[in-house]
Chain A
Amino acid sequence: MLRVLAALTPGIAAYAWFFGPGVLIQLGLASLTALLAEALMLKLRDRPIWRSVGDGSALVTAWLIALSFPSTGPWWLVVVATLAAILVAKHLYGGLGQNPFNPAMVGFALMIVAYPLMMSRWPGAGAAMDIGQAGALIFGSHSVDTVTMATPLDTLRTAMHGVETKLSVETFLQSRPDLHAAWKWIAAGYLAGGLWLLQQRIISWHMPTAFLVTLIALAGVSSAIDPSAFNGPLFELISGGAMLAAFFIVTDPVSGCTTPRGKLIFATGVALITWIIRHFGGYPDGIAFAVLLMNVAAPLIDMYTQPKVFGLKDDQGSRHD
Chain B
Amino acid sequence: MIRQPQQQLFRFNGGVTPEYHKDQSTRVPIGVPPAPTELVIPLHQSIGGTPRPIVSVGERVLCGQRIGEADGDVSAAVHASTSGTVVAIEMRQLPHPSGLSSLCVVLQADGHNDWIACSAFDYEQATAQEIRDYLRDSGVVGLGGAVFPSHLKLNAGHQIGIDTLIINGAECEPYITCDDMLMRERATEIVRGVALMRRVLNAKAVCIGIEDNKPQAIAAMQTAVSESKEDFAVTTVPTRYPAGGAKQLIRVITGIEVPHGRRSVEYGVQCFNVATALAIYQAIALGRPLISRIVTVAGNVSNARNFEVLIGTLMKDIVALCDPLADTDRVIMGGPMMGVELASQDVPVVKATNCILLGSQKIFPPAPPEMPCIRCGECAIACPADLQPLELYWFARAKLFGKAQEYHLFDCIECGCCSYVCPSNIPLVDYYRFAKSEIWAREKEKALADEARERFEFRQFRDEREEHEKVARLAARAAAAAEAKAQSAADLAAASAGGDSGGDDATKALIAAALERARQQGGEIAPKNTGHVSAEQLAEIAQIESRRAEIREQAKPQLPPDS
Contact = CB atoms under 8 A, between A and B. Distances in A.
Contacts of A310: 12-13, 247, 251, 257, 259-260, 384-387, 411
A199 interface: no
Interface string B258-299: 111010001110000000000000000000000000000000
A309 B374 contact: no
A231 interface: no
The interface residues of chain B, by DSSP majority, are classed as loop
A98 B372 contact: yes
Interface string A83-96: 00000000000011
Interface string B160-190: 0001000000000000000000000000000
Contact of B257 (A51, A55, A316): A316
B108 interface: no
Interface stretch (A65-73, A222-230, A253-261): A253-261
Contacts of A307: 380, 386, 388
B374 A97 contact: yes
Contact of B377 (A48, A98, A258, A309): A258
Given A306-B407, A311-B247, A51 B374 contact: no
A97 B384 contact: no
B388 A306 contact: yes
A204 B12 CA distance: 19
B372 A95 contact: yes
Nearest to A308: B386
B311 interface: no
Contacts of A97: 372-375
A315 to B, nearest CB: 9
Contact of B387 (A98, A302, A309, A316): A309
A258 B375 contact: yes
Nearest to B381: A204
A312 interface: yes
Contacts of A256: 375
Nearest to A206: B377
Interface residues of A, number: 27
Nearest to A202: B376
Contacts of A96: 371-372, 374
B259 to A, nearest CB: 3
A256 B377 CA distance: 11
Contact of A254 (B267, B375, B384): B375
Interface in A222-267: 253-254, 256, 258-259
Contacts of B390: 258
B256 interface: yes
Contacts of A57: 374
A308 B408 CA distance: 10
A254 B374 contact: yes
A258 B267 CA distance: 32
Contacts of B502: none
B371 A51 contact: yes
A298 B350 CA distance: 49
B374 A311 contact: no
A194 to B, nearest CB: 16
Interface size range of chain B in the complex: 20 to 34
Interface in B349-392: 369, 371-377, 380, 384-388, 390-391
Interface string A303-321: 0001111111100100110
Interface string A6-27: 0000000000000000000000
B259 A258 contact: no
Given A51-B369, A258-B390, A316-B257, A311 B411 contact: yes
Contacts of B251: 310
A258 B372 contact: no
Contacts of B407: 306
A259 B388 contact: yes
A57 B377 CA distance: 17
Given A311-B258, A311-B260, A320 B411 contact: no
A281 B388 CA distance: 37
Interface string A52-84: 100101000000000000000000000000000
Contact of B385 (A48, A98, A309, A316): A309
Contacts of A48: 369
A319 B375 CA distance: 36
A311 B375 contact: no
Interface in A33-57: 48, 51-52, 55, 57
B431 to A, nearest CB: 14
Contacts of B369: 48, 51
Given A97-B375, A309-B411, A258 B380 contact: yes
Interface in A161-192: none
B25 to A, nearest CB: 31
B483 to A, nearest CB: 71
Nearest to A259: B388
A89 B315 CA distance: 55
Given A311-B259, A320-B256, A253 B375 contact: yes
Q: Which 9 pairs from chain A and chain B are nearest by CB?
A: A311-B259, A97-B372, A311-B257, A310-B385, A96-B372, A320-B267, A253-B375, A253-B376, A309-B408
6 contacts: A96-B374, A97-B372, A309-B386, A310-B386, A319-B256, A320-B163
Given A258-B380, A312-B408, 14 more contacts: A55-B371, A253-B377, A254-B374, A258-B390, A259-B388, A302-B391, A306-B388, A307-B388, A310-B13, A310-B260, A310-B386, A310-B387, A320-B266, A320-B268
